[in-house]
Structure 1
Amino acid sequence: MNVKSVLLAVLIPFAAYAQGFAGLGTATQDFATPQRPAEFDFPADHGPHPDYRIEWWYLTANLKDEDGTDYGLQWTLFRTALAAGEVDGWTSPQLWMGHAAVTTPDAHYVTERLARGGIGQAGVQADPFEAWIDDWQLAGPDFDNLRMTATAPDFAYDMQLTAQGPLVFHGDAGYSVKSAQGQASYYYSQPFYGIEGMLSLPGGDIPVTGQAWLDREWSSQPLSEDQTGWDWFSLSLGEGKLMGFRLRQTGGSHYTAATWIAPDGTTTPYPDGAFQADPLTVTDVGGRDVPTGWAVRLPDRGVEVEVQAINPQSWMSTSIPYWEGPVTISGSHQGRGYLEMTGYD
């Protein structure tokens, strides 16, 4: 297979993937779908689920250097399938995409890797845990102790992660409903990683420490056909953590859900309408109007905060473009977090 045919084999499916939100709102065809009650099997469920259409291992981190400067870091591995199941070789229906980014108050560095499954270029194994694409790795003896690396022409990082709390499960014990029509995913997180290591930026190497949050999610149709994008928040608020999302629908309505995470990992799920997020500040990001400041409320927990991007220009100029970056939190609670927004392209 020559270089041109290799590129076509990898990039053409991703072009189709990008046109329709990875098919997230289309019929499931022959793929498996999440069912209630959610039942998890660890460590196996840290690994891939090739009978489902879409899956990700999604890590973000809020970091500081010795001078107190804020940084954000992202490492994400996406798997999407053209058909259920896995086979070895170039006929594999599994596609892999990796995103890595570093955000500073003044710059946003981003890079991407694409791979076809079945040839060893990318993949995930559960025990011992290893997720990789090319030379990028998120790996360790178990899910609680990981080393994370990524390289790009203008940045690199090498980080150690140590879990300081338990896994948490969103929605109904890990069954996360995404629409009034009932579309759902399996969704759990490890929001308690301590992280430390080295950022390598054009100005030199920077030792950093902080907190990281890893999301695991898989499904085959997590969105309804009338949903156009989402605004997702992971907020560390001192006395607890908050995951909340707002799914935008045609006609201007929204579907929301949230999870309150106590310091000991105890969770309280919140249904549609309990979590509120409204844009405060809109920024021109490469000709796009993107909300980079938000009013976020969870009245049941007394949360009424303002969320502001550390760098409003944190655009991910990848095959599937979106906004992703670290945020500050002020108001009823103080803290740091991450914001992801899709569908603004």
Structure 2
Amino acid sequence: MNVKVLLFCLLPAAPVLAQGFAGLGTDAEGFAVPERGRALQFPRDHGAHPDYRIEWWYLTATLQDADGRDYGAQWTLFRSALAPGESEGWDSPQVWMGHAGLTTPDTHFSAERFARGGIGQADVAAAPFAARIDDWHMTSTAPDGADAYSALQIAARDADFGYDLRLEANGPLVLHGQDGYSVKSAAGQASYYYSQPFYSVTGTLDLPGGPVAVTGQGWLDREWSSQPLASDQTGWDWFSIVLEDGHRLMGFQLRGRQTFTAGTWITPQGQATALPDGALSFTPQGTAQVAGRDIPVRWQIDWPEQGLSLQTAPVNPQSWMDLTVSYWEGPIRVTGSHDGRGYLEMTGY
């Protein structure tokens, strides 16, 4: 779903933070809102959409070293608009935030960057594609004529960790919901949402003990909206899973007065089936004490119509992003009717 951890913490009106998680249920007056039936266009939609209030470029990777030890990496750039539209210099209403995470079985690292738009510190260009904040970057390395997201290089660095990863896609972009129009509540709040879930990844992690060469799989989510949540929705549980038989599953539940679920079942060839509210069920199976609170780190995911019954376990239960807006995000192992690996994000706990 990747309605991700959002930037409304940066907005000046503190009372809005009570309206949906991180203010994502606040009224979208003055901003553009997603419309059903609008066709996504590439490479244009790889870039920024300043008339919408919130947007993100979100990459997660499940990785292993030569000994089979598990790792996870996260690279995210968020854009939040104080007003619709764009202008130059300090008059720009765009605010940017970057998150980076790196998970080992023993340790979880997280870091954060902030920037104003219009002054050269952070931006996103659609063609040639490049996203950056300070020295963190996600840059297309695709050949001429190929989709910009078919090959990427990403890097981030903080005092205690860093990574430099190269990603090559072996499948197509996937549109979620109805041709990229992704509904998030019974009341009809929605976002535009698509993914590139077919990356093979190679690169290096920089850890306190030294560099570690890794390989694995990656998943990029792209989403933008102006009011993606209902005002009573207090958080979500979101999964991206790559199964050993080549199928992929994106699924989420939004918690509020009523739970709302949605998902996408993706074949190895990239054909997508949208899963409507109620098709998937998500049941906590075990908790851990994380940052002074009980977090449901083990889950059961069921899709009875498909005969899918998955159990997930974290690589590191302490995968807490202790940032301006805090949340749990880390790599998971998957067993049950299918085996696989994936990523889990949980907010609002």
**TM-score, with length taken from structure 1:** 0.94
Over 3 Å counting, the alpha-carbon distance change for 1:271 and 1:314 in structure 2 is same
**Given residue 320 of structure 1, which amino acid in structure 2 is its aligned partner?**
V
- Work out the CA distance in 1 between the residues paired with 2:151 and 2:337: 33
Q: Does the alignment pair 1:163 with 2:175?
A: no
Question: 2:338 and 2:286 mapped to 1: Cα distance?
Answer: 19
Mapped pair 1:247 → 2:254: yes
SS in 2 for 1:37: coil
Pick from 265, 269, 286: which aligns with 2:270? 265
> Could you tell me how far apart the structure 2 residues matched to 1:167 and 1:109 are?
29
Deviation above 2 Å: which 4+ runs of structure 1?
10-23
**Pairing partner for 1:154 from 134, 149, 160:** 160
Residues 22, 80 of structure 1: 8 Å contact kept: no
1:326 aligns with 2:331: yes
> Does 2:274 correspond to 1:276?
no
* Cα offset, 1:22, TM superposition: 4.3
Tell me the SS of whatever aligns to 1:45: helix
The correspondence of residues 13-28 of structure 1 with structure 2, limited to 5 A, is 13=11, 16=14, 19-20=17-18, 21-28=21-28
Mapped partners of 1:314, 1:11: distance in 2: 21
Establish whether residue 199 from structure 1 lines up as the match of residue 205 from structure 2.
Answer: yes
Q: What is the CA-CA distance between 1:26 and the residue it aligns to? A: 1.0
Alignment map for 1:57-68 (pairs within 5 Å)? 57-68=57-68
Q: Which residue of 1 aligns with 2:181?
A: 175
| 38-47 or 209-218: bigger deviation | 38-47
Q: Percent identity?
A: 59
* Deviation of the 1:203 alpha carbon: 0.5
SS in 2 for 1:180: coil
Does the CA contact (< 8 Å) of 2:326 and 2:347 recur in 1?
A: yes
Instruction: Report deviation, 1:16.
Output: 4.6
SS of residue matched to 2:11: helix
Deviation of 1:12 after TM superposition, in Å, equals: 5.7
Larger relative CO (CA 8 A, sep 6+): 1 or 2?
2
Q: Which runs of 5+ in 2 are unaligned?
A: 1-7, 142-147
**Matches of residues 308-319 of structure 1 in structure 2 within 5 Å?**
308-319=313-324
Residues 25-80 of structure 1 deviation map (CA, whole Å, 9 limit, x = unaligned): 01111000000103111101000000001100000000000000000000000011
What TM-score do the two structures reach when normalised by structure 2?
0.93
Aligned length: 333
Cα RMSD for the two superposed structures:
1.6
Q: Name the SS of the counterpart of 2:168 in structure 1.
A: strand
3-state SS, counterpart of residue 118 of structure 1: coil
Which residue pairs with 2:88 in the alignment?
A: 88
The residue identity in structure 2 corresponding to 1:217 is E
Letter in 2 for 1:39: A
CA distance in 2, matches of 1:266, 1:56: 24
Q: Residue 4 of structure 1 corresponds to which residue in structure 2? A: none
Structure 1 stretches lacking a partner, 5+ long: 1-9
- Report the AA paired with residue 207 of structure 1: A
Q: 1:48 to 1:12 in 2, by over 3 A?
A: closer
The 1-side partners of 2:321 and 2:338 are apart by 28
- Structure-2 separation of matches of 1:166 and 1:31: 30
Partners of 2:243 and 2:35 lie apart in 1 by 32
Shift of residue 15, structure 1, vs aligned partner: 8.9
SS at match of 1:339: strand
- Whether the 8 Å contact between 1:15 and 1:319 is mirrored in structure 2 is no
d(CA) in 1 for partners of 2:251 and 2:10? 33
User: Alpha-carbon deviation of 1:143?
Assistant: 1.8
Q: 1:181 to 1:11 in 2, by over 3 A?
A: closer
